[in-house]
């Protein structure tokens, strides 16, 4: 027999488990199917474990520089095994938290791999879910409404498949108990820049390779330039506008000769971070009329697929592949199921973050995108080195850049490279949501000393009048 539920969610990542909680809060009977562990990529292979190791690397660097503050520690060493234990304990604790939330919401958790069946004796419409556990046993679940949240997996470079020892993806590197001496990172997007920043802090010899002409290609050009400058200053070798030649690359037992443009790099291993592909294979989508393009599930602005009772959210729909986006999409999908007709998510108002040193965060339009959209643009930039608080923190690199419309003064974009950028960006996000002008941001009295003073100064700089410049 098939068990019936109002809402069934496939995938227990930040998209799926948040959708499940939201549906349960509305009084629905809810089941969630997870093939690996609750928390998904974000908790086990993404946001949390990478930030835990970044924190470890940051503490190591801070300890090395502690004499500046009068704290004398003697020789400072880094123990990767210990850092891994810290990371694992942290992840396990947060996983327990999600399990608790499932229990609290009376959400039934099915452990196993889900696949979607076509019309059956249980239902005339496709969508019955078969769950196969590790022992090969299967059971059936019958959803009234189904949400697919199966996430994404690392993309490979053609001809250079992951061997998980020398050619790595970020899942592999996250579990290393010892650090390589040297690494080539292919892909200068968010994941590549974060790993480059972390590994150089841990004394690894890093070469960062990007096929395009700048790092973080989705960010404002000024941000890309600053990030490259600061990575280079810390010892990262950056190679742009070059491609990896898989055919001329040789993989040995303990090293890789990586052919990059005209050059051959001898490195211990290669991290491939060239994006992620939607995880939609073997899901039984061919048993439905759901449209899939390049593996990406096609949805409307309410996350509905071509099957009216089946929704898809998160990385598997290939929009902004971020945890908070997956969760927000999950909430919207459930609101649609509840008949609340939610306003579509405005992707321009979603903050984008890179947890490198210094951090990068942005919301809204880049200067280039604002011009392309037809705005006559004015900008204001303020560098953190003008602020007492940034100097106290010993992190005075970077800036806040505001992009606004010349005629209306409406803020169009906020871009930060600098300390605590991923926290500071929320002020920029709120300003955009409230349709604030640069003048209004400049009127807000900011606390002193604080990193957020950079907003006020950048806002004043939009009209050329910052105080501390
Ligand atoms: P996922 O988190 O991928 O969850 C999908 C779940 O579905 C998985 O648990 C999987 O096991 C399960 N599943 C798949 N198929 C089936 C099936 N057939 N049956 C049952 N279960 C199935 N985002 C941020 O916002 N901030 C960050 O700092 C950040 N850092 C990142 C760092 C790295 C290295 C990586 C790789 C990603 C990072 N991301 C970050 C992106 C973020 O992790 C993803 O955007 C987010 O996890 C997507 O959530 P999701 O729910 O769509 O999918």
- Candidates 93, 94, 96, 130; CA nearest to 114 is 130
Burial of residue 334 (number of CB atoms within 10 Å: 0-12, 13-18, 19+): buried
pLDDT (tens digit per residue) in 223-232? 999 999 999 9
Ligand 1 atom 3 nearest Cα: 151
Centre of ligand 1 from the C-alpha of residue 242, in Å? 29
Query: Going by DSSP bridges, is the β-strand pair 113-116/129-132 parallel, antiparallel, or unpaired?
Result: antiparallel
Average pLDDT taken over every residue of the chain = 97
- Residue 213: predicted pLDDT: 98
pLDDT (tens digit per residue) in 105-153? 999 999 999 999 999 888 999 999 999 999 999 999 999 999 999 999 9
Q: Which amino acids are annotated catalytic?
A: 448
Tell me the sheet residues that pair with 10.
Answer: 33, 148
Ligand 1 atom 36 nearest Cα: 46
For a pLDDT cut of 70, what percent of the chain falls above it?
100
Q: What is the mean pLDDT of residues 92-101?
A: 98
Sign of CA dihedral 193, 199, 201, 207: negative
Entry pTM? 0.97
Ligand 1 atom nearest the C-alpha of 174 is 34
- CA–CA gap between residue 385 and residue 108 (Å, rounded): 52
Predicted confidence (pLDDT) at residue 280 exceeds the cutoff of 90: yes
Predicted confidence (pLDDT) at residue 464 exceeds the cutoff of 90: no
Q: Ligand 1, residues 8, 151, 175: which to mutate, most atoms within 8 A of Cβ?
A: 151
Predicted confidence (pLDDT) at residue 469 exceeds the cutoff of 90: no
pLDDT (tens digit per residue) in 221-274? 999 999 999 999 999 999 999 999 999 999 999 999 999 999 999 999 999 999
Q: What is the mean pLDDT of residues 429-443?
A: 97
pLDDT (tens digit per residue) in 319-364? 999 999 999 999 999 999 999 999 999 999 999 999 999 999 999 9
pLDDT (tens digit per residue) in 41-75? 999 999 999 999 999 999 999 999 999 999 999 99
Predicted confidence (pLDDT) at residue 386 exceeds the cutoff of 90: yes
pLDDT (tens digit per residue) in 162-210? 999 999 999 999 999 999 999 999 999 999 999 999 999 999 999 999 9
Is residue 454 within 8 A of residue 400, CB to CB? The reply is yes
Ligand 1 atom nearest the C-alpha of 283 is 18
- Residue 141: predicted pLDDT: 97
Q: Which residues contact ligand 1 via a Cβ below 6 A?
A: 10-16, 33-36, 40-42, 45-47, 50, 113-114, 149-152, 170, 191, 279, 283, 314-315, 321-324, 326, 355
HSE toward the beta carbon, residue 386, CA cutoff 13 A: 17
Centre of ligand 1 from the C-alpha of residue 14, in Å? 7
């Amino acid at each position: 027999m098939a068990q019936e539920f109002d809402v069934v969610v496939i995938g227990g990542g930040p998209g799926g488990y948040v959708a499940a909680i939201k549906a349960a809060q509305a009084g629905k009977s809810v089941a969630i199917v997870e093939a690996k562990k609750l928390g998904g990529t974000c908790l086990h292979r993404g946001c949390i474990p990478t930030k835990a190791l970044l924190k470890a690397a940051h503490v190591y660097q801070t300890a090395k520089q502690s004499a500046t503050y009068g704290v004398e520690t003697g020789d400072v060493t880094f123990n990767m095994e210990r850092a891994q234990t810290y990371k694992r304990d942290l992840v396990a604790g947060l996983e327990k938290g999600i399990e608790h939330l499932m229990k609290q919401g009376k959400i039934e958790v099915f452990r196993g791999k889900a696949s979607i069946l076509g019309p059956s004796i249980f239902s005339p419409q496709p969508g019955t879910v078969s769950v196969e556990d590790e022992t090969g046993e299967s059971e059936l679940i019958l959803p009234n409404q189904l949400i697919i949240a199966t996430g994404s997996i690392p993309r490979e470079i053609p001809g250079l498949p992951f061997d998980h020892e020398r050619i790595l993806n970020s899942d592999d590197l996250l579990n290393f108990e010892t650090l390589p001496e040297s690494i080539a990172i292919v892909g200068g997007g968010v994941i590549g820049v974060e790993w480059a920043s972390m590994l150089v802090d841990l004394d690894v010899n890093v070469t960062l390779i990007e096929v395009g002409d700048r790092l973080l290609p989705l960010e404002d050009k000024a941000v890309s330039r600053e990030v490259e400058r600061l990575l280079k200053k810390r010892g990262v070798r950056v190679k742009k506008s070059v491609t990896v030649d898989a055919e001329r690359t040789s993989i040995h037992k303990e090293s890789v000769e990586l052919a990059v443009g005209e050059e051959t790099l001898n490195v211990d291993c290669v991290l491939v971070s060239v994006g992620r592909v939607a995880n939609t294979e073997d899901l039984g989508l061919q048993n439905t009329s759901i449209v899939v393009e390049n593996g990406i599930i096609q949805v409307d602005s309410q996350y509905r697929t071509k099957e009216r009772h089946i929704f898809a959210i998160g990385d598997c729909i290939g929009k902004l592949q971020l945890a908070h986006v997956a969760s927000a999409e999950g909430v919207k999908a459930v609101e649609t199921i509840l008949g609340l007709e939610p306003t579509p998510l405005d992707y321009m108002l979603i903050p984008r973050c890179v947890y490198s040193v210094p951090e990068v965060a942005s919301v809204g339009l880049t200067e280039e995108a604002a011009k392309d959209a037809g705005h006559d643009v004015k900008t204001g930039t303020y560098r953190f080195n003008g602020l007492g608080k940034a100097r106290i923190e010993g992190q005075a690199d970077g800036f806040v850049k505001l992009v606004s419309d010349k005629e209306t003064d409406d803020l169009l974009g906020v871009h930060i490279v600098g300390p605590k950028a991923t926290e500071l960006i929320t002020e920029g996000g709120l300003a955009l949501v409230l349709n604030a002008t640069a003048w209004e941001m400049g009127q807000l009295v900011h606390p002193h000393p604080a990193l957020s003073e950079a907003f006020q100064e950048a806002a004043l700089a939009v009209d050329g009048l910052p105080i501390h410049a």
